[in-house]
């Protein structure tokens, strides 16, 4: 099992086999995003995606915020960039979030506080969000002259909470507090702050008990089906995934375990 590692902008811990916990670690700046954080997050996500024994990633923040979005203290420094330089900056940030979203195993965001602007986008890059009562979301972009079409926020929000609610959220820049976020589906659950990580770990353990390939191909199907244009295309993709899984070792093992009335021993092969 890989050892915990400390990066400049977050910590990466391994509380138990199959589970990695990434904790953004700039609490004094509300875990706001810097270029270093983008570069490190992308690198860590790509490394995690290659770990065969990884089953779940939990993403959370140190201190009172999940992530305050782009570090506005860094923003000034961007004004000297050319338009292409600015595009490079934006695309670098987008690559980091795309790498997190693209990790083959489920990513659970344990939203411990404010997820503002790019912090909202980061929480949306996770497959599942569990929040503390202080979890709060806002598309801060319009408040500082940017668009909510940022780091995937417009893509996720319209699919997650519906176009009209996404519009209200994006155009007003208002906060959505935890209870409302849960009612909208922005949060899967709201749990006491002191048990947020434990709840995320408990969900991670449930996922770890299942067929790794089954879970990973489920994620692939769910993600792809947010993109495919037809039911037939979705079925085609699902059929391929199932056909692959029936050729593996986990399904026969699951069937044998069911007959033997025992827990299956999944290997992911
Ligand atoms: C005009 C800028 C344009 C530049 C952007 C272009 C960049 C393109 C390349 C990269 C792509 C990134 C895309 C992402 C974009 C965004 O994220 S835009 C949105 C940026 N974020 C915000 O606007 C949110 C600002 N913060 C807040 O709304 C609140 O702080 C909070 C997060 C909701 C927390 O509130 P609260 O608990 O009340 O704490 P505060 O007292 O407000 O803050 C505590 C201290 O933390 C500092 N801080 C908070 N957020 C940031 C931040 N984003 N950057 C830097 N510092 C932040 C805050 O200043 C306080 O500091 P002190 O006063 O020193 O204690």
Structure-derived torsion over alpha carbons of residues 65, 68, 74, 80, reported in degrees to the nearest 10 = 180
Residue, of 257 and 44, whose pLDDT is higher = 44
Find the mean pLDDT for residues 144-166. 91
Strands 136-138 and 175-177: antiparallel
Ligand 1 mean position, distance from CA 13 (Å):
26
CA-based nearest residue to 216, from 118, 114, 127, 88? 127
How is domain 209-258 classified at the CATH fold level? Lyase 2-enoyl-coa Hydratase; Chain  A, domain 2 (1.10.12)
Q: Please give the structure tokens belonging to residue 66.
A: 């999940």
Global ipTM: 0.95
Q: Return the biggest CA–CA distance within the chain.
A: 67
Ligand 1 mean position, distance from CA 69 (Å):
6
| Domains 8-206 and 209-258 belong to one CATH topology | no
The yes-or-no verdict on residue 32 having pLDDT over 70 is: yes
The yes-or-no verdict on residue 256 having pLDDT over 70 is: yes
What is the best residue among 31, 36, 72, 174 to mutate for testing ligand 1's pocket, by most ligand atoms within 8 Å of CB? Answer: 72
Nearest ligand 1 atom to alpha carbon 116: 24
Closest Cα to atom 1 of ligand 1? 144
Computed over every residue of the chain, the mean pLDDT equals 93
Q: What's the rounded Cα separation, in Å, for the pair 13 and 175?
A: 31
What is the best residue among 33, 68, 135 to mutate for testing ligand 1's pocket, by most ligand atoms within 8 Å of CB? Answer: 68
Question: So what's the pLDDT on residue 259?
Answer: 84
Nearest ligand 1 atom to alpha carbon 119: 17
CATH class of 8-206: alpha beta
Q: Which residues lie with the beta carbon below 6 Å from any ligand 1 atom?
A: 29-30, 32, 64-65, 68-73, 75, 78, 89-90, 93, 114, 116-118, 140-141, 143-146, 150-151
What is the best residue among 30, 95, 151, 169 to mutate for testing ligand 1's pocket, by most ligand atoms within 8 Å of CB? Answer: 30
Nearest ligand 1 atom to alpha carbon 175: 33
φ, ψ for residue 142 (rounded to 5)?
-70, -20
The yes-or-no verdict on residue 28 having pLDDT over 80 is: yes
Question: So what's the pLDDT on residue 261?
Answer: 87
Closest Cα to atom 59 of ligand 1? 29
Ligand 1 mean position, distance from CA 34 (Å):
11
User: pLDDT tens digit string along 53-106?
Assistant: 999 999 999 999 999 999 988 877 777 888 888 888 889 999 999 999 999 999
φ, ψ for residue 13 (rounded to 5)?
-120, 160
The yes-or-no verdict on residue 252 having pLDDT over 90 is: no
Domain boundaries, the chain: 8-206, 209-258
Ligand 1 mean position, distance from CA 68 (Å):
5
Closest Cα to atom 10 of ligand 1? 90
Find the mean pLDDT for residues 224-242. 83
CA-based nearest residue to 173, from 137, 209, 210? 137
Question: So what's the pLDDT on residue 78?
Answer: 76
């Amino acid at each position: 099992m890989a050892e915990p590692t400390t990066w400049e902008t977050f910590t990466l811990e391994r509380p138990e086999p199959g589970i990695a916990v990434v904790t953004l670690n700039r609490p004094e700046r509300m875990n706001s995003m810097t270029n270093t954080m983008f570069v490190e997050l992308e690198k860590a996500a790509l490394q995690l995606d290659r770990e065969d024994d990884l089953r779940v990633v939990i993403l959370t923040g140190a201190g009172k915020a999940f992530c305050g979005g782009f570090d506005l203290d860094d923003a000034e420094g961007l004004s000297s960039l050319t338009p292409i330089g600015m595009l490079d900056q934006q695309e670098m940030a987008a690559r980091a979030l795309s790498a997190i979203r693209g990790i083959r195993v489920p990513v659970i965001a344990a939203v411990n506080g404010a997820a503002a602007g790019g912090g909202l986008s980061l929480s949306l890059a996770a497959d599942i969000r569990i929040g503390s009562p202080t979890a709060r979301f806002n598309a801060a972009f319009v408040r500082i002259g940017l668009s909510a079409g940022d780091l995937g926020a417009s893509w996720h929000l319209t699919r997650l909470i519906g176009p009209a609610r996404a519009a209200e959220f994006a155009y007003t820049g208002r906060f959505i507090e935890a209870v409302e976020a849960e009612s909208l589906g922005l949060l899967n659950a709201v749990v006491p702050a002191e048990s947020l990580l434990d709840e995320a770990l408990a969900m991670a353990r449930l996922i770890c008990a299942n067929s790794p390939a089954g879970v990973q191909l489920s994620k692939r199907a769910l993600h792809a089906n947010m993109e495919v244009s037809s039911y037939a295309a979705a079925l085609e993709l699902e059929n391929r995934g199932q056909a692959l899984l029936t050729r593996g070792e986990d399904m026969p093992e699951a069937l044998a375990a069911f007959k033997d009335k025992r827990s299956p021993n999944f290997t992911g092969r």
